[in-house]
Amino acid sequence: MWFNPWRRKNKEVIDSGIDYQKLPRHIAIIMDGNGRWAQKRGLPRTMGHRAGVEALREIVKTCSKLDIQVLSVYAFSTENWKRPKEEIGFLMNLLTEYLRRELNELHQNNVVVRALGAIDQLPDEAQNELFKAFKQTENNKGLILNLALNYGGRGELIEAIKKVSGQVKSGKLRITEIDEECISGFLYTSGLPDPDLLIRTSGEMRLSNFLLWQLAYTEIVVTDKLWPDFNKQDLLDALKIYQKRDRRFGGLKTDKR
């Protein structure tokens, strides 16, 4: 695997209640509740999406300061194409705007921008900004920001199965060589650690077709807060909950103290 974690020597102390030796390597977030946030305030749904971008900005900054290795955020699912065309158009324009506005700062803070999903089906303008971000940040050594765009967990698995089948058909792979590591190597997250922590906002208790393979042993924290209201302190609180969990991965707890 190419992945080689990079760490700053002088970590900024953001919260004395956080154990900096037990931070998750990979945080995944289902950013839910933008529309409800707007409706509660008598605003159009688009204003909720715009407020959600500001929340993401703060969370990316905090993860970068904490030296989290990977942050994967569910920005636009394959199911989101069912929404009204006007809302989809706004979301695509907002993505383009976000990348144009934030790219230089992301780059200056050593963030690597990547995408999970079938981005070739996004509008050309959004694709152009994404590829520009990929190119400009590809050699950075800090936080890897995965934007899940036109992403669906089942679709990802189907594509992985097709690729594995092609390898078997061409004789490059034997059936006996197909194992978990093999399958993982054909996923969008190839080479990255699986998420240690999944945060879902707005109180919904479902995965919504997000990272189905990768979340097999992930700790889940659900908050009733709507995504635009989710802030730095909420992230720190989720980390504290995560650090109290006993991660056994199907085994037994070995620490008897």
- Give the residue numbers spanning the domain of 56: 26-152+194-243
**What pLDDT score was predicted for residue 5?**
42
3-state secondary structure of 125: helix
pLDDT at residue 1 greater than cutoff 90 = no
Give the global pTM. 0.91
Residue 9 pLDDT class (50, 70, 90 cuts) = very low
146 annotated active-site: no
For residue 208, tell me if it sits in a domain: yes
Residue 50 lies in a domain: yes
pLDDT band at 254 (very low <50, low <70, confident <90, very high): low
- The mean pLDDT value of the chain amounts to 93
pLDDT at 51: 98
Q: What is the CATH number of the domain that holds 139?
A: 3.40.1180.10
How many domains does the chain divide into? 1
Structure-token match 């990929």, residue found: 134
Say if 164 falls within a structural domain. no
Asked if residue 163 belongs to a domain, the reply is no
- Whether the predicted pLDDT of 13 surpasses 60: no
The helix (run of H) or strand (run of E) holding residue 161 is helix 153-169
32 is catalytic: yes
pLDDT digits (tens, 9 = 90+) for 19-63: 999 999 999 999 999 999 999 999 999 999 999 999 999 999 999
Answer whether residue 256 shows pLDDT above 70.
no
Active-site option among 15, 67, 80, 237 = 80
Confidence grade of residue 247 (pLDDT, cut at 50, 70, 90): confident
CB-based contact 28:211 (threshold 8 Å): yes
21 domain-assigned: no
In a domain, 17, yes or no: no
- The b-or-e profile of 161-174 (16+ CB within 10 A means b, else e) is eeebeebeeeeebe
pLDDT of residue 215: 98
Catalytic residue from among 32, 194, 196, 234: 32
